[in-house]
Structure 1
Amino acid sequence: RTMQGHTHDVLSVSFSPDGSQIASGSGDNTIRIWNAHTGKEIREPLRGHTYWVRSVSFSPDGKRLASASGDGTVRLWDVETGQRIGQPLQGHTRSVFCVAFSPDGNRIVSGSHDATLRLWDAHTGQAIGEPLWGHSNYVSSVAFSPDGKHIASGSGDHTIRLWDAETGQPVGDPLQGHDSSVWSVAYSPDGARIVSGSDDMTIRIWDAQTRQTVLGPLQGHENEVTSVAFSPDGKYVVSGSYDRRIRIWDAQTGQTV
């Protein structure tokens, strides 16, 4: 099924928690919400951002949507009505590349071209604490651990960093191994491992406690790896690349499936 409507590149997609809806963010500055079963648009495009929508994320209850944009803001939306919730979340000084809800839905984390992460109260839209500093280049991907206690971030500085989600403090040293920008990071369902995809065309799987590579570099893509995710049972990793291929890997052996 092909869903058509955006007039520019589609930069981010996200399923609602119950799998009934899909949200998409685009270079046409809009967000669209689709019925996942019929492929039809549910309502008019969500408008408000003034530049590319780079990331979209449903809240765990599926009632809200967070979006990150090149206009430097994060916005919250009511999924049922398509209306904006409150004012834009402002604080980043450059494009916001990525956004994610905490597992309990109470917080949002965002990562930006300004090399920082920020935490937000998902109900009030207020910033929580100061920006999280540590990366020396843009933050391209963020993910909460399944228990909500930690955040992983990937960056143009070639590293992954872990953060205490309550205090905003770094946890240990950066995860080092990639030779180029880290475009995507994701936790395994049990929170024990982290997968990363990079400009260096490889994937690595890390132990979240020791911060050491346990598998990789996994090689097979012929261009930048732009997106990675674990399967719901944690047995597989899927990766997407500018080589126009999707690969599936055994998360225990690192072999392609």
Structure 2
Amino acid sequence: MAFSSDKRTLASANSDSTVQVWDMTEGTIPHPVASLTGHSDEVGSVAFSPDGRTLASASDDHTARLWDAAEGTLLHTLPGHTEPVMSVAFSPDGHILASASQDRTVRLWDVATQTTTHTLNGHTGPVFSVAFSPDGRTLASASNDKTVRLWDMS
């Protein structure tokens, strides 16, 4: 699950291949707004861009996807991983999306062009999580190879 930066929207990843979007403006009880469809397999992770305009999702269908958070429309499908994508994270400036996969890689995507800028290799097992440091200079990745790797983003 992920909150938008203004805390008005909550998104949840679902095993039914959808991303659910919830309106949080009416207090603490979420109201369903949209069910985003397009993935062909379970969705395991979601993340909002820092400005809250874009929502990313990671799926067992080997893709990450970018969605217009306000409209609920699919913007782009990011193919390239050869196994399920387990986690997605935006850089603090929102220009880069990191995706972690069971294919033992982390891909860095230029959000504006939807292209892979780097594929980070080194884990010997599936990569299950990625996170950027608050200043965006470091990316952390965690794997079931029992390691956490820190990647210099420069």
How would you bin the TM-score normalised by the shorter chain?
A: over 0.9
Q: TM-score, normalised by structure 2?
A: 0.95
Question: Which segments of structure 1 move beyond 6 Å, counting only runs of 4 or more?
Answer: none
Structure 2 counterpart of 1:138: 42
Structure 2 residue runs without a partner (length 5+): none
Structure 2 counterpart of 1:190: 93
Aligned length: 151
Q: TM-score, normalised by structure 1?
A: 0.58
Are 1:126 and 2:31 counterparts? Answer: yes
Structure having greater relative contact order (Cα 8 Å, sep ≥ 6): 2
Are 1:215 and 2:118 counterparts? Answer: yes
- Mapped partners of 1:251, 1:167: distance in 2: 31
Structure 2 counterpart of 1:250: 152
- Mapped partners of 2:56, 2:3: distance in 1: 13
RMSD of the alignment, in Å?
Answer: 0.8
Structure 2 counterpart of 1:231: 133
Query: Shift of the alpha carbon at 1:204?
Result: 0.7
1:26-53 per-position Cα deviation (integer Å, ceiling 9, x unaligned) = xxxxxxxxxxxxxxxxxxxxxxxxxxxx
Query: Shift of the alpha carbon at 1:165?
Result: 0.5
- Mapped partners of 2:55, 2:78: distance in 1: 13
- Mapped partners of 1:141, 1:111: distance in 2: 6
The one-letter code matched in structure 2 to 1:234 is: G
Percent of pairs with identical residues = 48
Structure 2 counterpart of 1:201: 104
- Mapped partners of 2:153, 2:14: distance in 1: 29
